[in-house]
Copies of this chain bind each other. A is one copy, B any other.
Amino acid sequence: MLTTASNIPSEVVTITSAISRDIRFPTSLTKDGSDAMNESGDYSSAYCILSTNSSSGLQGHGMTFTIGRGNDIVCRAIEAVAARIVGRTLQELIQDMGKTWRYLVADSQLRWIGPEKGVIHLALGAVVNAVWDLWAKSVGKPVWRVVADMTPGEFVGCVDWRYLEDAITREEAVQMLQEMEVGKRERVKEAEGSRAVPAYTTSAGYGEDKMKALLEETLAEGYKHFKLKVGGNLEQDMHRLSIAREVLGYDNGNVLMVDANQVWSVPEAIDYMKKLAKFKPWFIEEPTSPDDILGHKAIREALKEDGIEVATGEMCQNRVIFKQLLSSGAIGICQIDACRLGGVNEVMAVLLLAKKFGVPVVPHSGGVGLPEYTQHLSTIDYVCVSGKKSLLEFVDHLHEHFIHPSVIKDGYYTTPTEPGYSVQMKEASMDEFEFPGGAFWQSETARPIRDHLKTDRPI
């Protein structure tokens, strides 16, 4: 299956061990990243680290993002999934990535506790991404470039086509990608010049003063897109949106988006958004349950006359849900997550579906490590699949822990050039924030979180 010579590692390496690490940051202390559904998360990474017998110490790092409690459960699932590739060579695994993905997802006993969703699928994402990181490092390329250098046949061969063919066939996908070969070289050049992925910010989700200051600050930095959290309280939200529009104006190309983090029922979502329509939001993100395909469709239809689009995806579990959301016209913006989907392979499937149904892909990036991942995915989408520059969320915290953090310049993501998938964390950060033994978690500062570890709310 592998025909692109530059994607074939020169050295044969065997995966000799797979471990997980439970890394948690105490974001609940400052309420960074809180919203109407998630009052106080501790942004966390469940890591999968694949070691090899390579003389250069080659390792593959993948992670999945969670918000605290339960990160240990995902770590345990990572160990169960990753154990299945220990002893394999990287060459065996990448020779037919679609087959490898299917192998990892199809352990029938582990599949039962999903299937293809929740903890076991989050774990799959970490493991699959670790394999991609290992592959990319072994050939000295960033992950986006490994994919960009594939033939359409190789790209399509990375996808598990089970359950997709009523919406898109393998042949159709090859055809689509072949058409996109036109201009691809130029798009790669643009990516190399860091003009492939425009950023938007969700830093403006907090208290009114902080929100206003952040909006002004990010506006000055060159951003044109701004997202606010809503759904807690209608009056408060109207007040906040009016402040936001005071800062951004209505007529100067500044785009406002809102995000409800699933707090509404379908009729509630429609009613609430009708009342926010005068602030002209581009889209409402996560108006209701991420499982509710027909609900999103109903909301989108009801809000069409108000010019409000519907976005969702960060909690959508797999390609089968996206297939339905996209093919039925339930969403106008497709927000994939780099690790809730089962890693790069399943993301590639959803990129193809989004292209087929003409829906822009705006990945979810509000979490530790997510921007590091998604900068690759949005680049792949632009270079190989859609040929269109979509937006990508950027949240400016916790990047200091990464060896190769994502960087924004002039409102664009700086395209990653270092080999791998960019989520490898600094050893010192891992040691300090490893839960529960790391220095931070043993410190006095962590006491309020330790004390509330078991429960977050009274009945």
Chain B: which residue is nearest A112 at the CB level?
A: B67
Which residues does chain B contribute within 8 Å of A118, judged by CB atoms?
Answer: 113-114, 117-121, 317
Please encode chain A, from 8 to 44, with 1 for each CB lying within 8 Å of some chain B CB and 0 for all others: 0000000000000000000000000000011111100
Q: Is the CB of B66 within 8 A of A113?
A: yes
- Contacting residues, chain B, for A327 (C-beta < 8 A): 294
Residue of B nearest to A295 (CB): B166
| Interface: A164 (CB within 8 A) | yes
A321 CB, min distance to chain B CBs, angstroms: 6
**B residues in contact with A424, CB < 8 Å:** none
Contacts of A93-120 to chain B: CB distance below 8 A: 93, 99-100, 103, 106-120
A456 to B106, CA, bound (A): 9
Stretch of A190-198, A242-250, A285-293, A433-441 on the interface side: A285-293
Considering the complex, give the chain B residue whose CB is closest to the CB of A266. Answer: B166
Bitwise, A62-82 to B at CB < 8 A (1) or not (0) is 000011111011101100100
Q: Does A239 contact B (CB under 8 A)?
A: no
Q: Does A315 contact B (CB under 8 A)?
A: yes
Given known pairs A265-B166, A294-B324, the reply for A108 and B39 (CB within 8 Å) is: yes
Instruction: Return the contact of A109 from the options B41, B268, B290 (Cβ within 8 A).
Output: B41
Q: How far is the CB of A228 from chain B (nearest CB, A)?
A: 19
Whether A80 contacts B84 by the Cβ 8 Å rule is no
Cβ A291 vs Cβ B117 within 8 A = yes
Q: Is A445 an interface residue (CB 8 A)?
A: no
**Is A232 an interface residue, CB under 8 A from the partner?**
no
Q: Does A457 contact B (CB under 8 A)?
A: yes
Check if A459 sits within 8 Å of B107, measured CB to CB: no
Q: In whole Å, how far is A104's beta carbon from the nearest beta carbon of chain B?
A: 9
Residue numbers in B under 8 Å from A230 (CB-CB): none
CA A86 to CA B117, docked complex, whole Å? 28
Please name all residues of chain B whose beta carbon is closer than 8 Å to the beta carbon of A74 when the two chains form the complex: 113
Most buried by B among A107, A267, A318: A107
- A162: CB under 8 A from chain B? yes
A362 at the interface (CB under 8 A from B): no
Structural contact, A108 and B77, CB atoms closer than 8 A: no
With a CB–CB cut-off of 8 A, which chain B residues contact A68? 109, 112
A274-325 at interface with B (beta carbon < 8 Å): 288-295, 298, 315, 317-318, 320-321, 323-324
Asked whether A171 is an interface residue with its Cβ less than 8 Å from the other chain, the reply is: no
Q: How far is the CB of A269 from chain B (nearest CB, A)?
A: 10
Chain A positions 125-175 with a Cβ under 8 Å from a chain B Cβ = 162-166
Q: Is A122 engaged at the interface, CB distance under 8 Å to the other chain?
A: yes
A450 at the interface (CB under 8 A from B): no
Contact between chains at A459 and B103 (CB < 8 Å): yes
Once the chains are docked, how many angstroms separate the CA of A115 from the CA of B40?
16
Q: Which of B72, B88, B294 contacts A76 (CB 8 A)?
A: B72
Instruction: Point out the residues of chain B lying under 8 angstroms from A56, CB to CB.
Output: none
Q: A77-B70, A163-B288, A321-B291 are in contact. Are A109 and B456 (CB under 8 A)?
A: yes
CB-based contact B73/A69 at 8 Å: no
| Binary contact track A245-268/B, C-beta < 8 Å → 1, others 0 | 000000000000000001001111
B83 near A454 (CB under 8 angstroms)?
Answer: yes
Nearest CB of chain B from residue A88's CB, rounded to whole Å: 7
B67 adjacent to A73 (CB under 8 Å): no
Query: A328 interface residue, CB < 8 Å from B?
Result: yes
Known A-B contacts A69-B109, A291-B317; A120 and B119 likewise in contact (beta carbons under 8 Å): yes
> A92 contacts the other chain (Cβ, under 8 Å)?
yes
Ranked 3 nearest A-B pairs via Cβ: A118-B118, A119-B119, A166-B266
Q: Which residues of A contact B (CB under 8 A)?
A: 37-42, 66-70, 72-74, 76-77, 80, 83-84, 86, 88, 92-93, 99-100, 103, 106-122, 162-166, 262, 265-268, 288-295, 298, 315, 317-318, 320-321, 323-324, 327-328, 454-457, 459
Q: List 17 A-B contacts (CB under 8 A).
A: A66-B109, A67-B108, A86-B454, A93-B459, A100-B459, A109-B456, A118-B120, A118-B317, A163-B288, A163-B289, A163-B295, A165-B267, A291-B317, A291-B321, A291-B324, A292-B320, A292-B323
